[in-house]
Amino acid sequence: MNPVFKIILQRLALGLLTLFIVSVVIFTAVNMLPGDFAEAILGQGATPEAVAAIRRDLGLDQDPVTRYFQWLAGAVQGDLGNSFAQANFASFVGTEGSANMASVANQIGPRFWNTMFLAGVTALIAVPFAVILGILAALYRNSAFDKFANMFTLTSISSPEFFLAYILILFLAVLNPMLPSLSNIYADMGLGERLEKTLLPALTLTLVVTAHMMRMTRAAIINLLASPYIEMARLKGISPLRVIVKHALPNALAPIINVIALNLAYLITGVVVVEVVFVYPGIGQLFVDSVKIRDIPVVQACCLIFAGAYILLNLTADIMSILSNPRLRHPK
């Protein structure tokens, strides 16, 4: 078997094992949340018989191991279960009847694509901005610009997302009303209006993820500037910017692509706080709302999607590092 293909298969197997372990942790943690959905839906005056009937109808009366494997088997087939909060208990009388359930997948689907849209807009802004900033910082290293760029990016990455969000709201929505402070988007909204309402949360996420990509670009290029072929290019009289862009940058792409993939993984999983601040109707906002009302199937599905996206993008970064590095392609 080809060594590269073997290494990739090993990474994929490790990723599946990691996802399985994470699914166990997710199920255990979610089911340890305080409160009971059946008691919450019926109120304080609920009789034990009514609570037991709803728990039986929702499958909460089964032991945790059985419920876990039922949930895992459904998730493998694309069935994430049914939402408790969207169930219709109007016909539930006494200890008889059943709830009309709503699919978790149908509830998460639109929210997931909203989150992907936000992550995509952020990536389109953050990746070019970070790479250009890193190239300029390497070109003018140890200059005032380099020091300012490092200070700016380190400050942004050290600040909590909600703090950056409120700062941007203050300057771009309150003092200078250029962008809306609330991202109340809906399905039939036009692309231009959707972009306008998404721009402020996208700028917040850009400030968070730019630092890693910018500093990696800068470090990778500076490490190559002492190479003999770079010195030869300089001796030929090629301008410093062209030396970096044409000769240094292509050979520094491997670590840059790796850190970009890792930051894209953060964009999928780290949007929760930003979506809550801007009331953005994404999967992060749905996750927080579902935790509040103890909608266990939705919480489990959101956590599994976050974990799966993070593991997949980390695997992508790992595989791309292998393919771009001869020492990893041909290990001794």
List, for residues 195-204, the tens digit of each pLDDT value: 988 999 999 9
51-92 pLDDT, tens per residue? 777 777 777 777 888 888 888 888 888 888 777 776 655 444
Residues contacting 25, CB < 8 A, separation 6+: none
CA neighbor of 92 nearest in space, from 40, 50, 48 = 50
Domain-embedded: residue 170: yes
- What would the pLDDT profile of 3-58 be if each residue is shown by its tens digit? 777 778 888 888 889 989 999 998 888 877 776 666 666 666 667 777 777 777 77
Question: Which tens digits make up the pLDDT trace of 261-288?
Answer: 888 888 877 788 888 889 898 888 888 8
Q: How many domains does the chain have?
A: 1
- Name, of 81-85, 189-193, 195-199, 219-223, the range with top average pLDDT: 195-199
Q: How wide is the angle at C-alpha 139 spanned by C-alphas 137 and 143, nearest 5°?
A: 60
Q: Which of 281, 287, 223, 241 minimizes the C-alpha distance to 132?
A: 241
- Structural domain including 207 reads 114-285
User: What pLDDT, on the 0 to 100 scale, is given for residue 45?
Assistant: 63
pLDDT band at 161 (very low <50, low <70, confident <90, very high): confident
- Tell which residue, 276, 282, 278, 277, has the closest CA to residue 306: 282
The identity of residue 158, as a single letter, is: S
In a domain, 215, yes or no: yes
pLDDT tens digits for range 282-332:
888 888 888 887 788 888 888 888 888 888 888 887 777 777 666 656 655
d(CA 137, CA 218): 6
Establish if 138 belongs to a structural domain: yes
State the CATH number of the domain containing residue 183: 1.10.3720.10
Structure tokens given for 134: 């890193």
Look at residues 71, 72, 49, 46 and name the one whose alpha carbon lies nearest to residue 59.
Answer: 71
Q: Is residue 291 part of a domain?
A: no
Question: Does position 167 have pLDDT exceeding 60, yes or no?
Answer: yes
Q: Is 0.75 surpassed by the pTM of this model?
A: yes
Residues 117 and 11: their CA atoms lie apart, in Å, by 28
Q: Give residue 198's identity as a one-letter amino acid code.
A: T
DSSP label of 220: H
In a domain, 264, yes or no: yes
Residue 326 lies in a domain: no
- Supply angle C-alpha 117, 121, 125, rounded to 5: 165
Q: Which pLDDT score is estimated for 36?
A: 64
CB 165 within 8 A of CB 156: no
Residue 323 lies in a domain: no
Q: Is residue 124 part of a domain?
A: yes
- The answer to whether 248 touches 225, Cβ cutoff 8 Å, is yes
